[in-house]
Structure 1
Amino acid sequence: MKKKVVSILLVTAMVGTMAAGCGSKKGSDSKDEELSLSVTTTFAGEDGNAPNYKEAVSAFEEETGIKINDSSAVSDETFKARIETDFQAGSEPDVLFFFNGADANSFIEEGKVISIDDIRAEYPGYASNMNDDLIPASLVDDVKYAVPVNGYWEGLFCNTEVLDAAGVEVPGADYTWADFEADCEKIKAAGYTPIASALGEIPHYWWEYSIFNHTSLDSHLEVPKSVDEGNGPGWVEGMEDIKKLYEKGYFPENTLSAKDDETFALFTSGKAGFLIDGSWKVGGIASACQSDPDDASTLDKDKLDKFTVTYVPTNGERKATDLIGGLSEGYYITKKAWDDEAKRDAAVKFVEYMTTDDMVAKFAQHTASALKEAPEVDDAEFNSLQIKAIDMMAGVSSLTGAVQDIFNGECRVSTFDGMPQIVTGEVSAKDAVAEGLEMYAEQTAE
């Protein structure tokens, strides 16, 4: 059986193939002897695509003769700081796979990466297999620099064993907040924890969706000027929704002190019904169903079949099928490489090679892409939860980025770190939101 891999907004494509280097002035089959490129990506460590990346790099080197000096590393705050330091010191790589949000602002402001339009002026076919409407633009100048590969979505994972025991059906595309609360009550009455979440450590997903339920597709990424303006009241209502869920006892008893891996274990061990998390959690759930977490061949397929993923309940203007998600990273070509004629052509070839339809399909799998055309994929290539994720994404009406990626740093402390105080009533939701917005206003004014 064949299924279509989904892209951002509706169902996007990934069919067909695109020859590597199709936009290059030189043929993709020509050898560039003794030429090397420095490349840095986030495909490292436990990233599921790290093996795919290594395999692709080896194939590129064999095909072109271009040596890749790779310095990829796990994405964290230390890595982000390293990238910023490298640009400041003039030691940035020739090609960089990196975030396209606020983390890229500094090197874009300094003109140290080349826009897709400028590259197309010399290489007309560059990223021509991508839907330009889906390529994220820079927050600095609304210009597109990074060619995306795989994206992400955030959805509602369900343990169907728990739901069945409580007489709850798997939520569908019209799932409302009232439906959700009724289901949580049934799950609680059956002796299970309705929601697996460590509010004291990782309130991120509930924070985001609770706010999204009180904003709109067009305005969600707008940080309000104050608690009483724009989306301000919606942010407060969102925090109060979480507080109500806490007061009704729908979170784990130790949700304010537990670690995320503890509450995740509640979910995977059949003690909690719902979990909001990202597309990356598909792999984590599969690993939890393996006798050896590092060996996919030990997967207990019957256990994995008890999990599914669906849409997050709506409590406002958004449809349940409007999810948080997007294409948060992509390939940049730096000015340093562009100004070197030999490296310019090699860098274009490398990015084109890493963003062909087939390559993107391999990296994106059940997540999201910006491809124009979508390939059909064989169910045999995916486990049951991945197939359910693909089916779920086929019904998505839109993907909107996370406002917390804009509202980052110290301004999030009052509502992220301060979530325990909000839900227990020590601090009012309005005061907590106001504190964060005031700090954000100060940061952006500097």
Structure 2
Amino acid sequence: MKKRIIAVLMSFVAVLTLSACTETVVELNTVSMFGGTDANRVVYESTIYAFENEHNIRVKDKSQSSDEEWKSTVISNFNTGNEPDVLQFFTGETAKPFVDAGLVMSIEDIRKEYPDYAKNIDDSVLGTHSVPTTGFVEGIFVNLDHFKSNEAKAYLDKDVWTWDEFKALCAKLVEDNADVEGYKPIAYGQNIPHYWIDHLVAAQLGPDYYNVIKGAEGEDKLTNALLKLSEIKDYLSYDETEEFSSQAFLDGKYTFQLDGSWFGGRIELENITVYPFPVVNEEYGSPLLSGFTSGFYITKKAWDNPKKRDLAVKFVEAMTSRETLTKFVTYGGGFAADSEAKPQNETKVQEALRLVSPRADFVVLPLGDASVAGTYAGLVEVQASFVNNQADTAKAAVKTYIEGQTD
């Protein structure tokens, strides 16, 4: 009888102990876009598994492909108080509802308690509230074979050029390659002037360029930025199509190609590097037009929970560490928000693209992405007026464009 009582008591104690252990296991609710057929799903899920084992917690993850229905569900969950503890989501206008409502923590506030939070992420791509993982970048692809004189080669000692230096370099390259028939420094297709339009606007008007355009004297400011194309008119190949101009660059005929990181995959030339866009306005520095358009957020809901705050911070740090970002860019491609996170078997062009980010001063989306749908095309259609300094035509197009930007 005594043995039976002892056995019952021991069983009861075991149940209580098990219940206590179960109660202490914290559950972290997460959401991301690393679902479906995403190439980085395996990296994300393996990182979660390691995180659970390291911290003895349970991660309840609801990741899906980032279609419109999924976006709406995420926003709706914030509206109903069902937001997760950590989420990977878009930045910019898409995230504005929960950012403006104060439902996610800012990097600044997190660093008051965790000063090293996201310290490995390049400042130029770090969001105000989100920590990015991978994205794309745009820059000037440079054929170094055309730098023949010592004077031209001296420009390669600089990390970034000013606008005046860039123009002077173009003039010197024309001299260096005077014996090359039809040579022009800059590849430029008339049907795709987008990269030059976007970069000149950002470089001249700064990181808040879109609001500047819509503000006081916006028409004049935007027009003047676009007319800077006329300052390099003599150095543009000004081919009828971008298809021709980009192929000519790939064939080694032009020196500069302003393009996105995806262009790098087409390059077979040996002596190519990448430079950030020149500094047009010293007040702002060099712009980086980049596709780091998503990142990890910590919700205020998790931050205010003493059992989850530290875990939420550590979860984001695990997902955005140099080691994890290296895996992301190796499996899924793109470029890491930490410029030291290199994909395996990195090519010289990939390395050059990766190192553009830390040399830039601020990051923005292209004007075409910021514009109201259908309005940007009006600027593209009159690109010749920017190149040829036809101010009246340019101003008329700019006026129509700005009138189309409605909140």
TM band (smaller chain): 0.5 to 0.7
Q: How do 1:102-121 and structure 2 match up within 5 A?
A: 102-116=93-107
Which residue pairs with 2:398 in the alignment?
A: 433
Which residue pairs with 2:364 in the alignment?
A: 401
The C-alpha deviation readout for 1:10-41, integer Å capped at 9, x for no partner, is: xxxxxxxxxxxxxxxxxxxx998795744213
Aligned match of 1:211 in 195, 198, 201? 201
Could you say if the C-alpha distance between residues 171 and 233 of structure 1 is closer, same or farther in structure 2, counting changes exceeding 3 Å? farther
Could you say if the C-alpha distance between residues 245 and 378 of structure 1 is closer, same or farther in structure 2, counting changes exceeding 3 Å? closer
The C-alpha deviation readout for 1:50-85, integer Å capped at 9, x for no partner, is: 6654553454355456355453546xxxx4674145
Aligned match of 1:41 in 33, 54, 66? 33
Given that residues 325 and 402 in structure 1 are in contact (C-alpha distance below 8 angstroms), is that contact kept between their aligned partners in structure 2?
Answer: yes
For 2:256 and 2:124, locate their aligned partners in 1 and report how far apart those are by CA, in whole Å.
32
For 2:46 and 2:172, locate their aligned partners in 1 and report how far apart those are by CA, in whole Å.
45
Which residue pairs with 1:224 in the alignment?
A: 213
Q: Which has the higher contact order (CA 8 A, sep 6+)?
A: 1
For 2:227 and 2:257, locate their aligned partners in 1 and report how far apart those are by CA, in whole Å.
19
Q: How do 1:143-182 and structure 2 match up within 5 A?
A: 144-149=128-133, 153-161=137-145, 172=156, 173=158, 174=161, 176-179=165-168, 181-182=170-171
Alpha-carbon distance, 1:156 to partner: 0.9
The C-alpha deviation readout for 1:98-145, integer Å capped at 9, x for no partner, is: 333222112323454344577679xx438635389949898xxxxx43
Which residue pairs with 1:382 in the alignment?
A: 346
Q: What TM-score comes out, normalization by structure 2 length?
A: 0.65
The C-alpha deviation readout for 1:263-314, integer Å capped at 9, x for no partner, is: 6555444454322234x43xx52x435xxxxxxxxxxxxx453321124345
Given that residues 267 and 274 in structure 1 are in contact (C-alpha distance below 8 angstroms), is that contact kept between their aligned partners in structure 2?
Answer: yes
The C-alpha deviation readout for 1:131-165, integer Å capped at 9, x for no partner, is: 89949898xxxxx432344566532112345667x
User: Please, which runs of 5 or more residues in structure 2 have no aligned partner?
Assistant: 1-21
Given that residues 91 and 293 in structure 2 are in contact (C-alpha distance below 8 angstroms), is that contact kept between their aligned partners in structure 1?
Answer: yes
Pair 1:413-2:376 in alignment: yes
Alpha-carbon distance, 1:207 to partner: 1.3
For 1:41 and 1:136, locate their aligned partners in 2 and report how far apart those are by CA, in whole Å.
19
Could you say if the C-alpha distance between residues 400 and 111 of structure 1 is closer, same or farther in structure 2, counting changes exceeding 3 Å? closer
Alpha-carbon distance, 1:416 to partner: 4.7
Paired residue type of 2:297:
Y
**Secondary structure at the residue paired with 2:404?**
helix
Given that residues 159 and 308 in structure 1 are in contact (C-alpha distance below 8 angstroms), is that contact kept between their aligned partners in structure 2?
Answer: yes
More divergent stretch after superposition (51-60 vs 333-342):
333-342
Q: How do 1:279-298 and structure 2 match up within 5 A?
A: 280-281=261-262, 284-285=263-264, 287-288=265-266
Could you say if the C-alpha distance between residues 356 and 248 of structure 1 is closer, same or farther in structure 2, counting changes exceeding 3 Å? closer
Could you say if the C-alpha distance between residues 263 and 170 of structure 1 is closer, same or farther in structure 2, counting changes exceeding 3 Å? farther
For 1:129 and 1:34, locate their aligned partners in 2 and report how far apart those are by CA, in whole Å.
23
For 1:37 and 1:112, locate their aligned partners in 2 and report how far apart those are by CA, in whole Å.
15
Paired residue type of 1:434:
K
Give the aligned CA root-mean-square deviation in angstroms.
5.1
Given that residues 247 and 423 in structure 1 are in contact (C-alpha distance below 8 angstroms), is that contact kept between their aligned partners in structure 2?
Answer: no
For 1:317 and 1:190, locate their aligned partners in 2 and report how far apart those are by CA, in whole Å.
36
Q: How do 1:78-117 and structure 2 match up within 5 A?
A: 79=67, 82-88=70-76, 94-116=85-107
**Secondary structure at the residue paired with 1:410?**
coil
Given that residues 31 and 62 in structure 2 are in contact (C-alpha distance below 8 angstroms), is that contact kept between their aligned partners in structure 1?
Answer: yes
Which residue pairs with 2:63 in the alignment?
A: 71
Q: How do 1:269-280 and structure 2 match up within 5 A?
A: 269-278=251-260, 280=261
User: Please, which runs of 5 or more residues in structure 1 have no aligned partner?
Assistant: 1-29, 139-143, 290-302
Which residue pairs with 1:21 in the alignment?
A: none
Alpha-carbon distance, 1:379 to partner: 11
Could you say if the C-alpha distance between residues 190 and 168 of structure 1 is closer, same or farther in structure 2, counting changes exceeding 3 Å? farther
How many residues in Structure 1 have an aligned counterpart in Structure 2? 368
The C-alpha deviation readout for 1:231-268, integer Å capped at 9, x for no partner, is: 5434212322336756875233224xx5xxx7655544
**Secondary structure at the residue paired with 1:83?**
helix
For 1:46 and 1:197, locate their aligned partners in 2 and report how far apart those are by CA, in whole Å.
34
For 2:353 and 2:201, locate their aligned partners in 1 and report how far apart those are by CA, in whole Å.
24
Paired residue type of 1:130:
K
Paired residue type of 1:409:
V
Given that residues 222 and 403 in structure 1 are in contact (C-alpha distance below 8 angstroms), is that contact kept between their aligned partners in structure 2?
Answer: no
Given that residues 158 and 309 in structure 1 are in contact (C-alpha distance below 8 angstroms), is that contact kept between their aligned partners in structure 2?
Answer: yes
Given that residues 414 and 435 in structure 1 are in contact (C-alpha distance below 8 angstroms), is that contact kept between their aligned partners in structure 2?
Answer: no
Q: What TM-score comes out, normalization by structure 1 length?
A: 0.61
Given that residues 42 and 98 in structure 1 are in contact (C-alpha distance below 8 angstroms), is that contact kept between their aligned partners in structure 2?
Answer: no
Q: How do 1:172-321 and structure 2 match up within 5 A?
A: 172=156, 173=158, 174=161, 176-179=165-168, 181-182=170-171, 190-191=181-182, 194-196=185-187, 200-201=191-192, 203-215=193-205, 217=206, 220=209, 222-225=211-214, 229-230=216-217, 232-242=219-229, 250-255=237-242, 264-278=246-260, 280-281=261-262, 284-285=263-264, 287-288=265-266, 303=268, 305-315=270-280, 317=282
More divergent stretch after superposition (424-433 vs 126-135):
126-135
Paired residue type of 1:351:
V
Alpha-carbon distance, 1:436 to partner: 1.9
Identity percentage over the alignment? 24
For 2:57 and 2:254, locate their aligned partners in 1 and report how far apart those are by CA, in whole Å.
52
